[in-house]
Structure 1
Amino acid sequence: MGNSSTELDFDKIITRQGTGSRKWDDIGSVFGSEEVLPLWIADMDFASPGAVAAKIAARAEHPLYAYNAQNETFNQAIVDWVRRRHHWNIEKDWIVQAPGVVPSIILSIIALSEPGDGIIIQPPVYPPFFASIKDNNRIIVENPLLSKNGYYEIDFEDLEQKLADTKNKLLLLCNPHNPVGRVWSREELTKVYTLCQKYKVDVLSDEIHSDLVYRGHKHTVFASLGTPVCKQSVTFMAASKTFNIAGLNTSFMIIPCQRRRGLIETEVNRLHLRRNNLFGVLATETAYQEGEAWLDNLLVYLEKNADVLVQFVETKLPGVKVVKPEGTFLAWLDFRAYFKEAEKLDRFLVEEAKVGLNSGKSFGSQGEGFARINFATQRSVLVEALTRIERALKKITG
C-alpha cells in the first residue's frame, strides 16, 4: 500500500504558524504558553492530496466566488466512495449536506427528540457530544465504556437498561470511537442494533473517522445493518479528517428513512444551512474521486506512527499505559500511575513537558488522569513530543 518516497512526503515538516491554524496559532490562548508542541486538536500536519490543492487553486483563479450550484457530482462522489470503501450501497436522495458533523448532530437531536428527552452517550467520548445534548435542553445519559487493561468495550448490560427507559430517545454512537480508538466490530454493532430495534431508540452514528482504520480491522457502517438498511439511524460523515480539509467546513448526513430525513431537512432549511462551502464541496468531491492512493499511503504512515508511539510508551515511559488504536489518528494515554487529578496532569504536560495534548477530563469524568494525543504529525515531531514527556517524568520520579 505504501512506498518509501511517499512516506518521505509525510515526513516533510510543513510550517503552519501564521496560517490561521487553530492547532498551532492558538496555543498561547489554549495552553497559556507559546512553548508547547501541539498534538491536540484532531487535524493532521500533512498536506492534503495534491489533486485537491490543484483543483482549489485552479478554481480560485476564477475571480468570482458567488453562490455555488447544488452539484450532483458531489453527491455521486459520496455514493461511489461509500460503496467502494465501506461496501454500503446508498442512494443520492439520502444525502443531506451540512457545514460540519457537530452541527449535523445538533440538527438531528433537535429534529428527532424533544427538550427533556434523554440522549445516551458512551464516555469517555468526544467532548461536543456532551455540549450538543446539554446546550439543547436534552438530558445526558451515560453508558460508560468498560476498560479491560486499557482495551475498551461496550457495557451491553448497562446499555440495555438505558435503552429500556422510555425517556431515552436517541443513542449517539461514535464509530470508530474517539478517543479510545476502537473500531467497533460487526458483532458489537449488531448487538447495539438489536437492542435499539427492541426498544425503538434511534441511533445517531458519528462516522467521521470511518476511513482511518488499520490492518486487521474493518469499519462497519452502523446503518448498513438490518434489512434492507437501518431506517432508525442517521450517519454523519465527511472528508475532513480523512484528507485534512476540516477548515473547509463541509460534511454530509446519510438518512435512509424518508420521514426522519424530512424532519432533519426541516431544521436544516429553518436555519438556512443547506448550501455548503464552494471550496469544501470541490475539495470533498476531488478527494473522493482522486485521493484513494494518497489515503492508502497515509494509513501506512499513520499505523507506523501508532507503532512508534506504543513502543516508546512501553519502553521509555514506565507507568504510562496505552493500547494501540484500531482506527483514528488519536491515542489515549493513561497517566494515572503519576496523576490522579486532571488539573495536575494538564499542568505537568504544559509546564514541565511542554506538550499540548487534550485533557482527558474533557471527554468525561472517566478521562480523569488521561490525555489524548494526536499522532498525525511527522514522526520526528511525534518522537520529540514523547521525548519531552520522558524527560519531564524523569524529573518528578528521580
Structure 2
Amino acid sequence: MSQFDEVIPRIGTNSEKWDGAEKLFGRKDIIPMWVADMDFRAPKPVLDAFKRQIDHGIFGYSTKSEALIQAVIDWNKEQHQFEIDPSTLFFNGAVVPTISLAIRSLTKEGDAVLMVSPIYPPFFNVTKATERHVVMSPLIYENHQYRMDFDDLEKRIKEENVKLFLLCNPQNPGGRCFTKEELVELAELCEKYQIPIVSDEIHADLVMKNHQHVPMMVAAPFYKDQIITLMAATKTFNLAAIKASYYIITNKDYQAKFAAEQNYATTNGLNVFGIVGTEAAYRYGAPWLKELKEYIYSNYEYVKAEIEKEVPEVGVTDLEATYLMWLDCRSLSKDEKTIYADLIEAGVGVQMGSGFGHSGKGFVRFNIACPKETLEKAVKLLIQGLKK
C-alpha cells in the first residue's frame, strides 16, 4: 500500500477545496476535483521540521536563513541543472503576488502584456487589476497536446506593442512541458522585440516520466538578463498554506525595480513555516516526490482508460506535467454550461475550461492528486455526468 492511498478527512479543516465546495458548487455532498492542491499529507521531514518549530514555542519575526538559500540552490542544481547565483535569488510570499510585482515593476498602466491561452486565471486577472492590457495568443491544440503559435505571437507583439510576456511552464492548464527548442524560439522572438519574460515555473518539479523541465534561463542563457523566473516548493510538496516562493533575477536594474516595489508594498517577508518548510522539503523530500509522481501518473492512466472506455468522444490531453488533467469535451452534444450543470448534479466539482480564457471553452480541468479510493468514486460520477 502506498502512503498516498490514505484517505485523510479534510472537512472541518478550513480547506478551500473541501470546506468551500458547498458555497462554490451549491451542494455539500460533492467530491471536489478542482483547485490545485493535493489530498496527500506533506513529507514527514517537513512535518518534523514544523513540529520542532512548534515545540520551540516562539513565533517572532523571522528572517531567511543561509540554510534555506543553499537548499534552494542545491535543489535546482540537482533537479533542473539550474545554477542559481545567491545574489540573484529573492523571496516573496507566493507566486501570484510576484507576477503582480513583476507587472508593476516592468510596465506602466495601459501597457500590453502578452500570454498564451488557455492559462491559469490569475495571469489575466492580475494583469487587469494592475490596469494593463491583456493580450492572449491561443495555443494550438492537436494530437492531444498544445503548442505555441509563433506566427500569431509575433503578430500580436507587433500589433499591440507588447511590453511584457508572461509564461506558464509547465502549462496550467493542459499539463504541457515546453521543450528547450520551443523555449529558445520564444526567447529569440522576445529578444527581437526586447520584451522581458516572466516565467512561472511553480509546477517544474511535477513533470511526468519521459519528460524533463527546462528552466527558461537554462534554455536561453543568451537572454537571461531579460528573464525573471518564479518558483516555489509549495506546489510540489502540497504546502500552499505556508506562503513561500522565490524568484531569480540577474538584471541589476530589474532587481532595483522589484526591490522598490516590494518595499512600497511591504510584501517581502517569509513566515517561519515558509522558511523551515521549504528548506526541509528541498533537503529531504526527493524520495517522497519520486513516489508521488509515480502515483499521480498511475492515476492519470486509470482516468484515461476509464474515459476512453466509457466516453470515447471525450479527448484526454497528454499529461506531461502537473496533476491536472485537461479533458476535451467539445465533441459532446451539449454546451459547456450544460456539461457543468450535469457534473454538479452527478456530484463532482470541476473547473470549466472557459475560466482559463476563451480558447479553453469546452474543456474540463480535473485534479487527480488524491487517493485512488477518492479518484475512483469521482471518476464514476464524472463519467455519469458526461454521459447525461
Q: TM > 0.5 between the two? A: yes
Secondary structure of 1:261's aligned partner: helix
Deviation at 1:113, TM superposition (A): 0.4
Match of 1:310 among 304, 311, 319: 304
Aligned Cα root-mean-square deviation (Å): 1.3
- 5+ residue gaps, structure 1, are none
Secondary structure of 1:242's aligned partner: coil
* Residue number in structure 2 paired with 1:160: 154
Q: Is contact 1:306–1:324 with CA below 8 Å preserved after alignment?
A: no
Q: Is contact 1:341–1:368 with CA below 8 Å preserved after alignment?
A: no
Using the alignment, how far apart are the partners of 1:291 and 1:380 within structure 2? 25
Using the alignment, how far apart are the partners of 1:166 and 1:152 within structure 2? 24
Using the alignment, how far apart are the partners of 1:341 and 1:66 within structure 2? 53
Using the alignment, how far apart are the partners of 2:306 and 2:194 within structure 1? 46
Using the alignment, how far apart are the partners of 1:227 and 1:151 within structure 2? 27
- Alignment map for 1:60-139 (pairs within 5 Å): 60-139=54-133
* Residue number in structure 2 paired with 1:367: 360
Q: Is contact 2:198–2:227 with CA below 8 Å preserved after alignment?
A: yes
Q: Is contact 1:339–1:345 with CA below 8 Å preserved after alignment?
A: no
* Residue number in structure 2 paired with 1:383: 376
- Alignment map for 1:224-243 (pairs within 5 Å): 224-227=218-221, 230-243=224-237
Bigger Cα displacement from structure 2, 339-348 vs 324-333? 339-348
Using the alignment, how far apart are the partners of 1:276 and 1:222 within structure 2? 25
Which digits, 9 at most, give the CA deviation of each residue in 1:72-103, with x for residues without a partner? 21111111111110001111111111110000
Kindly indicate whether residue 137 of structure 2 is the aligned counterpart of residue 143 of structure 1.
yes
Using the alignment, how far apart are the partners of 1:381 and 1:110 within structure 2? 41
Using the alignment, how far apart are the partners of 1:221 and 1:360 within structure 2? 26
The one-letter amino acid of 1:376's match is A
Using the alignment, how far apart are the partners of 1:94 and 1:145 within structure 2? 31
* Residue number in structure 1 paired with 2:46: 52
- Alignment map for 1:6-21 (pairs within 5 Å): 8-21=2-15
Kindly indicate whether residue 206 of structure 2 is the aligned counterpart of residue 212 of structure 1.
yes
- Alignment map for 1:252-291 (pairs within 5 Å): 252-291=246-285
Using the alignment, how far apart are the partners of 1:180 and 1:41 within structure 2? 14
- Kindly, what percent of the aligned residue pairs are identical? 37
Q: Is contact 2:173–2:365 with CA below 8 Å preserved after alignment?
A: yes
Q: Is contact 1:340–1:368 with CA below 8 Å preserved after alignment?
A: no
Q: Is contact 1:97–1:251 with CA below 8 Å preserved after alignment?
A: yes
Bigger Cα displacement from structure 2, 328-337 vs 201-210? 328-337
Deviation at 1:144, TM superposition (A): 0.7
Which TM-score applies when normalising by structure 2? Answer: 0.97
Which digits, 9 at most, give the CA deviation of each residue in 1:264-302, with x for residues without a partner? 111111111111111011100100011011111111111
Using the alignment, how far apart are the partners of 2:70 and 2:135 within structure 1? 37
Which digits, 9 at most, give the CA deviation of each residue in 1:186-220, with x for residues without a partner? 11111001111111011010100000011111101
The one-letter amino acid of 1:245's match is L
Which TM-score applies when normalising by structure 1? Answer: 0.95
Secondary structure of 1:214's aligned partner: coil
Secondary structure of 1:97's aligned partner: strand
Using the alignment, how far apart are the partners of 1:300 and 1:219 within structure 2? 16
Using the alignment, how far apart are the partners of 1:162 and 1:337 within structure 2? 30
Deviation at 1:339, TM superposition (A): 5.4
Q: Is contact 2:353–2:363 with CA below 8 Å preserved after alignment?
A: yes
* Residue number in structure 1 paired with 2:293: 299
Matched residue count: 388
Using the alignment, how far apart are the partners of 2:173 and 2:222 within structure 1? 31
